[in-house]
Amino acid sequence: MSTLSPLRCPSCASNLKAQDIDTARGLITCGYCGALMNLAAPTAAPGAPAAPAFTPRPEVPLPPRIRIAKTERGVELSWRWFTPVLLFLIPFTIAWDAFLLFWYSMAGSSDAPWIMVVFPIAHVAVGIGLTYCVIASLLNTTRITVAPRALEVRHGPIPWRGNAVFERSQVEQLFCKRKETRGKHGPHVTYELWLSLRGPRAVKLVSNGLEEEQVLYLEQRIESVLGLSDRPMAGELVR
């Protein structure tokens, strides 16, 4: 480590700066795109300029929803999709579907005008989508398996998009993204876990309903199982 090249954000490729470091929490937040990264302890190369003082990120405790287990394939990190919000969504979905069933029983039993059949088509589409999401949220689990040679993500048993396998040798780093969407009831914040791959390119690993402590835990744990050593180091940051 004799030449210090500026460290780039794995998400947007802009140069990371010293002011992007949160020394108390051991986190780097990209000043441009807001990507979050764990800060690795600096390797003190002999003769190298001293790295700015900072606290290496303490190990994040296991968040309540996430389970970790050793399987024959590797280390498995998993969490069920179920959250208490579903308890409000279930009666709403049942009411929505029940209304449509009632509507179509009326439309089918008499000489109903054709408009009665066609009119709620968009509502039927929403009902099907909503019902599918509710069933998936009740039953599904996301599993990330960190094997010696691969990193795998699976959602199931209800089919869902986002299943993927990445070769271990392709993975350079993990980082987190904070996504803020503006809704009717104010801003809604979600967190995503991303992989920085050789190439370079970045792909989203998981996003469904995770909170900050959960994505940071996943990032830290997966990086430690994979033994990733080329993580951001304080001495490489642009001042």
Residues forming contacts to Zn ion in the complex (CB under 5 A) are 9, 11-12, 30, 32-33, 35
In the complex, what is the shortest distance from the CB of residue 39 to Zn ion, in angstroms, rounded to a whole number? 15
Query: Given the complex with Zn ion, which of 11 and 38 has the nearer CB atom?
Result: 11
In the complex, what is the shortest distance from the CB of residue 32 to Zn ion, in angstroms, rounded to a whole number? 5
Return the ∠ at Cα 21 (arms to 52 and 232), rounded to 5°: 80
Query: Given the complex with Zn ion, which of 35 and 107 has the nearer CB atom?
Result: 35
Contact 70, 133 (CB under 8 A): no
In the complex, what is the shortest distance from the CB of residue 160 to Zn ion, in angstroms, rounded to a whole number? 28
In the complex, what is the shortest distance from the CB of residue 197 to Zn ion, in angstroms, rounded to a whole number? 16
Q: How far apart are CA 5 and CA 105, in angstroms?
A: 69
Query: Given the complex with Zn ion, which of 38 and 142 has the nearer CB atom?
Result: 38
Contact 152, 145 (CB under 8 A): yes
Nearest to 239 by CA among 3, 4, 1, 2: 4
In the complex, what is the shortest distance from the CB of residue 41 to Zn ion, in angstroms, rounded to a whole number? 22
Question: 19 phi and psi, to 5 degrees?
Answer: -70, -10
Assess whether the previous peptide bond of 200 is cis (omega < 30° from 0).
Answer: yes
Helices within 78-228 (DSSP H only): 86-109, 114-118, 121-139, 212-226
Query: Given the complex with Zn ion, which of 76 and 172 has the nearer CB atom?
Result: 172
Query: Given the complex with Zn ion, which of 28 and 66 has the nearer CB atom?
Result: 28
